Each structure stands twice: as structure tokens, then as C-alpha cells.
Amino acid sequence: MKKRKKKSRRAVDEGSYICPTCGEQIVIPLDPSGGSEQRFVEDCPVCCNPNVIQVEFFGVGEPARVWAEAE
């Protein structure tokens, strides 16, 4: 009987940005079903300051562009 490998999250399901306040790299889950351009506010899990996160999705297999600005 073969052992099944755990299904790991693909790199295209995650993105990262640098918090403009504390400088930490933050990894976030990405959901392309929300549209090719997304914008939302999320608190930094390190310094708790709010950031405006922007995500752009491109073609299949291409990494998304993710960046943040302080709110």
C-alpha cells in the first residue's frame, strides 16, 4: 500500500508583502476568485498596524504581485 503525501499548499495560493511600518515579511493566503485586482485592509500580525494590501493576478502559473501601504 502506497503512502499518500500530504497535499501542500501551492506557492500560487500564497503571497507575501513587507509591512511598511515594522519591515517584517508577511505571508498571506491568496484567492484569485476575488478578481484579478484586489484591495483590502489587514492588520499586520507583528505590529498590529493596519495595511492596505493590494494584489494583482496575472496568467496561469505566474506569481501574483502583492504589496502593502500603511493605512
All three cell numbers of 22, joined, read 515594522
Please state whether the predicted TM-score (pTM) of the whole model is above 0.85: no
- pLDDT higher than threshold 90 for residue 61: no
- Kindly report, residue by residue over 13-58, the tens digit of the pLDDT: 899 999 999 999 999 999 999 999 999 999 999 999 999 999 999 9
Residue 24: C-alpha distances to residues 4, 15, 43, 47, 63 (Å): 35, 14, 13, 9, 20
In the chain, domain spans: 12-70
- pLDDT higher than threshold 50 for residue 12: yes
